[in-house]
Amino acid sequence: MPTQRYSKLPPDVRQRIRAAAQAEFVAHGYENASLNQIIQAAGINKGSLYYYFEDKADLFITTAREAEADMLRSMGLGSPAQIVARPAADFWEFIHQASRLKLDFALRFPDATRLLTEAYLLASRNGIPAFQEFLRQSTEASRALIRMGQEQGAVRRDLSLEMILDLLYSLSDVMNRPLLEDPAWLDHYDPQELERYADLQLDMFKRMLQAPAGSPGALPVFHPVKKSNQE
C-alpha cells in the first residue's frame, strides 16, 4: 500500500505521478513498464518514488485504485458498501444501467479502463501482496452485490457464492481479452457497436446467474457427492 507520504503530496504532484504511471503501464503493460520512464515523466527522482511507494506493484495498484475511484464517481455509484446499504429496487435493471455507465466511462477514459482491466486480470493470477489485497477488496465488493441480488430473488441460490464469482471472473477474462491484446481496441469500433458488445456480455451474465422464474426463495446449494467405491 502507498505510504502516508504519498497521500500528503500536493495534488499537482500526485497527478503528475499518476499520469506518468498510467501512460507507461498502458503503453507497455505491467511487466514491461519502466520505472525509470515513469520517474522521468513525473519529474521526480528515484529515491522519491521509493519514498512514496514500496515497489513497482504498489505503484501499479495505487494507480489502478485511483482509476477505479474515478470510474465509480463517474457512474454516480459511490462505494460498493454504499450501494448495498441503499439497494436498488430492481437488481438486473441496476446492473444494466451500471453497465451502460461503465461503458460511457470506458469511451471517455480508455487508458484508465485499460489499466483497470489489466489490474483485475493480473490480480487473479499474481501472488504479489499488493495484487492480492486488490483482488480481496474487489472480490468482497462482488460478493456483496451478488448477495444483494440473491436477497431480492434476482440471482440464483443453487450455486455457491464462490462458484458464481468464478463464473463471473471467467467470462470477464474472455470478454475483456480484446482490450488487453489490442490497446486501441476501443478506438476501432463505433460506440453503438461497443454498446451491443456490453449488452451481450451482460446478457451472458444474466443467463448464467438469473434465478429461474417461479423458483422458491432458497434452493439447496449444489454440493457434488462422489460416487461410493463400495458395491
Report the C-alpha gap between 20 and 163 in whole angstroms. Answer: 38
Region of poorest pLDDT, from 49-63, 141-155, 183-197, 199-213: 183-197
Q: How confident is the model at residue 222 (pLDDT cuts 50, 70, 90)?
A: low
Condensed to tens digits (0 to 9), the pLDDT of residues 88-114 reads 778 899 889 888 888 899 889 999 999
C-alpha cell at 132: 492480492
DSSP string computed for 160-186: -HHHHHHHHHHHHHHHHHHHHH-TTGG
Of 66, 80, 98, 63, the residue nearest 199 (C-alpha) = 98
Residue 144: its pLDDT value, please? 86
Q: How confident is the model at residue 230 (pLDDT cuts 50, 70, 90)?
A: low
What length is written for the chain?
Answer: 231
Condensed to tens digits (0 to 9), the pLDDT of residues 77-88 reads 766 667 767 777
What percent of the chain has pLDDT above 90? 33
Q: Which residues pair with 155 in a beta bridge?
A: 210
- The CATH code for residues 4-209 is 1.10.357.10
C-alpha cell at 60: 501499479
Q: Is the pLDDT of residue 20 over 90?
A: yes
Condensed to tens digits (0 to 9), the pLDDT of residues 3-17 reads 678 888 899 999 999
- Please give the residue that has the higher pLDDT: either 223 or 48: 48
Helices 161-181 + 129-151 axis angle, to 10: 120
| pTM of the predicted protein model | 0.81
DSSP letter, residue 34? -
